[in-house]
């Protein structure tokens, strides 16, 4: 039994040694976590943009060599796609899920925009990563536009559902719900752009104007 145990330990030791050699050759630590690497890339792309993020930035932020990054994600663009997956999951959890689960009408829309203002001005963030990358032109343009098409379609659907509830509650007329949803999408872009190029005070002013516009849709009830 002692001999067998010794043999097992010897094989395990050799396996670990081989793993260490392979990790050293690939430049990737054995405890490598692709999700964690995508999170690190997310914050880098969010802060510096796609074109502004160079290979050395990625190597430092991800604690990985260039070869390891490319072996895992295929390319810088592939890493951006992985970062977008993490970004959309974060947005779903913090912004979209509460909005979709709400049973309110205009109040739910107001709450969404208030949360959006907090989202784009949160410490360490630079507006909305999606909108920031849409302002760039280059190899990532097609991927960024495709992601915006998906996100805007989801947002538009939730806006229309909330507006329909508002109409059912007698808060607004039933007329032109889709046009109002399109206007709200435009406001989402406006808030995000304001956060990218201005401070919190500018975002607050834009947000106040947005909420004022939404309030004008509300049907004024005759007190009599």
pLDDT value at position 223?
55
Under 8 Å CB-to-CB from 195, ≥6 apart: which residues? 117, 120, 121, 126, 127, 128, 203
Nearest to 115 by CA among 217, 215, 210, 219: 210
Contact 69/53 with Cβ under 8 angstroms? Answer: no
Position 135 confidence tier, pLDDT thresholds 50, 70, 90: confident
The token duo for 53 is 């993020």
| 27 domain-assigned | no
Whole-angstrom distance, CA of residue 159 vs CA of residue 184:
8
pLDDT value at position 200?
80
Whole-angstrom distance, CA of residue 98 vs CA of residue 137:
33
Position 17 confidence tier, pLDDT thresholds 50, 70, 90: very low
| 65 domain-assigned | no
| 12 domain-assigned | no
Whole-angstrom distance, CA of residue 70 vs CA of residue 48:
20
| 46 domain-assigned | no
**Domain of 208, in residue numbers:** 88-217
Whole-angstrom distance, CA of residue 88 vs CA of residue 92:
6
Q: Coil, helix or strand for 142?
A: helix
Contact 191/116 with Cβ under 8 angstroms? Answer: yes
Q: What mean pLDDT comes out for the span 101-117?
A: 92
The token duo for 182 is 């399109």
pLDDT value at position 215?
94
pLDDT value at position 222?
61
Q: Report the percent of the chain where pLDDT is more than 90.
A: 50
Residue whose structure tokens are 């784009």: 120
pLDDT value at position 78?
95
CATH of the domain at 116: 1.10.357.10
Q: What mean pLDDT comes out for the span 110-120?
A: 91
Q: How many domains does the chain have?
A: 1
Position 84 confidence tier, pLDDT thresholds 50, 70, 90: very high
| 6 domain-assigned | no
């Amino acid at each position: 039994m002692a001999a067998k145990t010794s043999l097992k330990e010897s094989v395990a030791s050799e396996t670990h040694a081989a793993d260490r050699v392979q990790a050293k050759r690939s430049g990737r630590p054995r405890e490598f976590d692709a999700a964690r690497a995508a999170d690190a890339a997310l914050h880098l792309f969010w802060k510096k943009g796609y074109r502004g993020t160079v290979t050395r930035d990625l190597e430092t932020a991800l604690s990985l060599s260039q070869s390891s990054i490319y072996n895992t994600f295929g390319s810088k663009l592939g890493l951006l796609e992985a970062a977008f997956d993490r970004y959309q999951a974060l947005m779903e959890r913090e912004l979209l899920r509460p909005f979709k689960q709400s049973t309110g009408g205009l109040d739910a829309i107001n709450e969404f925009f208030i949360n959006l203002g907090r989202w784009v001005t949160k410490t360490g963030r630079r507006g909305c990563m999606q909108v920031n990358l849409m302002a760039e032109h280059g190899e990532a343009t097609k991927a960024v536009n495709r992601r915006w098409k998906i996100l805007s379609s989801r947002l538009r659907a939730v806006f229309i559902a909330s507006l329909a509830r508002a109409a059912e509650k007698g808060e607004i007329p039933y007329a032109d719900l889709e046009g109002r949803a399109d206007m709200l999408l435009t406001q989402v872009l406006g808030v995000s752009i304001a956060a990218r190029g201005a401070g919190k005070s500018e975002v607050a002013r834009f947000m106040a104007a947005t909420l004022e516009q939404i309030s004008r849709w509300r049907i004024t009830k005759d007190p009599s």
